[in-house]
Amino acid sequence: MKPHLHTGLVVFGLAGALLGCSSDDEAEPEQTTLQLLGYSCQEDAARTSSAADQPAPTWRDTGRNVGVAVNADGLLDPAYAQTVAAEFNQLTPENEMKWEAIEPEPGVFDFTRADAIVSFARDNGMTVRGHTLVWHSQLAPWVEALTGADAVREAMTRHIQTVVAHFRDNFPGVVVAWDVVNEALNVQQGPMGGTVIYRDSVFHRELGDGFIAEAFRIARETDPSVLLFYNDFGVEGTLGAKQVGTYDMVSALVADGVPIDGMGFQMHTGPLDQGPNADDFAANVARYAALGLQVEVTEMDVTLCAVGGNALGYELQRYRYNRLVSACFASPSCRSVSLWGLGDANSWLNDTGCTQGMLTLDTLPAPLAFDDTFGRKAAWWGVYDALTGCTYP
């Protein structure tokens, strides 16, 4: 495991480079930050190929499974749609498959917007991650108001069966994975540290811990060919209370023969090598893989709030994307990596901006790999290099 100092040195080196802190005078040819760091993943020809006669490479060209969260509205914008189709081979509906959107009233299903996304995927030769069947948030109010195990079980069963069967029958082979249960665990801070508990929800209140296993079994019965995932945030490393608790919970599901195929790590993170650091994430991927599960990075973004949207921040972001995407794909069990939004202007993090307590910082999260008008950021190259097997040191 590399010492944390490593990142500090890189930051220091980058800062020096970007601020022009060179001991020589201005006659010195300008070095790219990559050269200053002593590595080069791609020849310059590839980096400038958009200006040459061959087409610029895209993420999709690498053959890796690389996905993005999209909105039905976004896909109506030709520039957005073209970038999505060129760079990605997998989509996740950002909101359109959530319970409040798809079954707003009991037994009344509206697939219009979800179908628009899945049709786009099918027509462009892409797959879809279904997101999400059972979650405490963005739940239809009528579900939250249910009382009694029978009522909740009936609603959950009908919802999973109807939604999974809809895509199984109408778009065969396109929705390849479901986040069956999302964010079921919580961390409660006690005097001795964090304790993992099941998060309060109508499902947990009425059905107990077993609601998770029940949901997976219903999904598997409905479509035996789709991959079934548990998905959560803050569980990317190995050591924290929620990380240990989640691993134990998922291990128990596997041991009990519950039909779970994979673990989804949301990966909402920042530009520094922490929360998790890349080595710890790799160790976590390995222990889930050892359970026989596939793993995915499902909702990645790298907010710049801690460092600001300046040149240093963008280079750190590139580095961070590269290290984490590399860490996932280093495991044969890593099925895909998805980013939570296309361009920075599309990010859900803009809803809160960069706030610290009462203070709102004069910078934006800018957490994605494409800018507001879908131009490639430095972070794009960080991911591209990872997808082509080049990990930054």
Active-site amino acid positions: 183, 299
Comparison of 298 and 333: residue with beta carbon closer to ligand XIL: 298
Q: Which two tokens stand for residue 11?
A: 């930051």
Least distance between ligand XIL and beta carbon 8 (Å): 30
d(CA 266, CA 183): 10
Mapping DSSP onto H, E and C, the string for the chain reads CCCCHHHHHHHHHHHHHHCCCCCCCCCCCCCCHHHHHCCCCCCHHHHCHHHCCCCCCCCHHHCCCEEEEECCCHHHCHHHHHHHHHHCCEEEECCCCCHHHHCCECCECCCHHHHHHHHHHHHCCCEEEEEEEECCCCCCHHHHCCCCHHHHHHHHHHHHHHHHHHHHHHCCCCEEEEEEEECCEEEEEECCEEEEEECCCHHHHHHCCCHHHHHHHHHHHHCCCCEEEEEECCCCCCCCHHHHHHHHHHHHHHHCCCCCCEEEECCEECCCCCCCCHHHHHHHHHHHHCCCCEEEEEEEEECCCCCCCCHHHHHHHHHHHHHHHHHHHCCCCEEEEEECCCEHHHCHHHHCCCEECCEECCCCCCCCCECCCCCECHHHHHHHHHHCCCCCC
Task: Compute the least distance from the CB of residue 334 to ligand XIL, in Å.
Answer: 19
d(CA 331, CA 343): 28
Q: Contact with ligand XIL (CB under 6 A): which of 58, 127, 182, 186?
A: 182
Write down the least CB distance from residue 299 to ligand XIL, Å: 6
Instruction: State which residue, 288 or 384, has the beta carbon closest to ligand XIL.
Output: 288
Q: Which residue in the shown chain puts its C-beta closest to ligand XIL?
A: 348
Nearer to ligand XIL, 96 or 273 (CB): 96
Kindly identify the residues of this chain, within the stretch 289-308, that bind ligand XIL according to CB under 6 A.
299
Between 246 and 266, CB nearer to ligand XIL: 266
Check residue 348 for interaction with ligand XIL (CB under 6 A): yes
- Based on CB atoms, which residue is closest to ligand XIL, 33 or 243? 243
90 part of the interface to ligand XIL, by CB under 6 A: no
Q: Closest approach of Cβ 339 to ligand XIL, in Å? A: 12
User: How far apart are alpha carbons 56 and 136 in whole angstroms?
Assistant: 42
385: alpha, beta or left? (left if phi > 0; alpha if psi -120 to 50)? alpha
Cβ 26 to ligand XIL shortest distance, Å: 46
For ligand XIL, the closer CB: 94 or 103: 94
Site size for ligand XIL, by CB under 6 A? Answer: 6
Q: One symbol per residue from 252 to 271: x for binding ligand XIL (CB under 6 A), - otherwise; what is it? A: --------------x-----
Q: Which is nearer to ligand XIL, 43 or 351 (CB)?
A: 351
Question: What is the nearest approach in angstroms of ligand XIL to the Cβ of residue 301?
Answer: 9
Among 42, 49, 62, 95, binds ligand XIL (CB under 6 A): 95
Among the listed residues 94, 115, 223, 296, the single contact to ligand XIL using CB under 6 A? 94
Shortest distance, CB of residue 61 to ligand XIL, whole angstroms? 27
* Contact residues for ligand XIL, defined by CB under 6 A: 94-95, 182, 266, 299, 348
